[in-house]
């Protein structure tokens, strides 16, 4: 946390303008959708957002293939059941 505490407002603003840009975003849409209508909405809402001014370096991370299934169970007092998969 020391590096965050030491950062200046200008550094945070610079980080925001560099990385919070359309070419660094992912839009996920799921479900039974009308593809042409969805594309129209995407263009209407996201089309006017300007691209970033700097080229963002893409880091190629290669993970080793999974040799076995990995499971995790988290116990908590929840009101609604849920399933999360990634």
Report the C-alpha gap between 15 and 12 in whole angstroms.
5
Sign of the C-alpha dihedral, residues 20, 26, 32, 37?
positive
Q: What is the pTM of this model?
A: 0.52
- Residue 3 tokens read as 């590096």
Residue with the two structure tokens 């990634």: 86
The number of residues making up the chain comes to 86
* pLDDT by position in tens, the chain (length 86): 888 889 999 999 999 988 888 888 889 998 889 999 999 999 999 999 988 888 888 889 999 998 999 888 878 887 777 777 66
């Amino acid at each position: 946390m020391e590096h965050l505490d030491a950062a200046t407002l200008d550094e945070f603003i610079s980080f925001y303008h560099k990385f919070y840009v359309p070419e660094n975003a992912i839009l996920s849409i799921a479900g039974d959708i009308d593809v042409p209508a969805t594309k129209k909405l995407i263009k209407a809402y996201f089309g006017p957002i300007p691209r970033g001014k700097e080229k963002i370096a893409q880091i190629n991370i290669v993970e080793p293939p999974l040799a076995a299934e990995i499971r995790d169970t988290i116990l908590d007092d929840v009101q609604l059941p849920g399933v999360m998969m990634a």
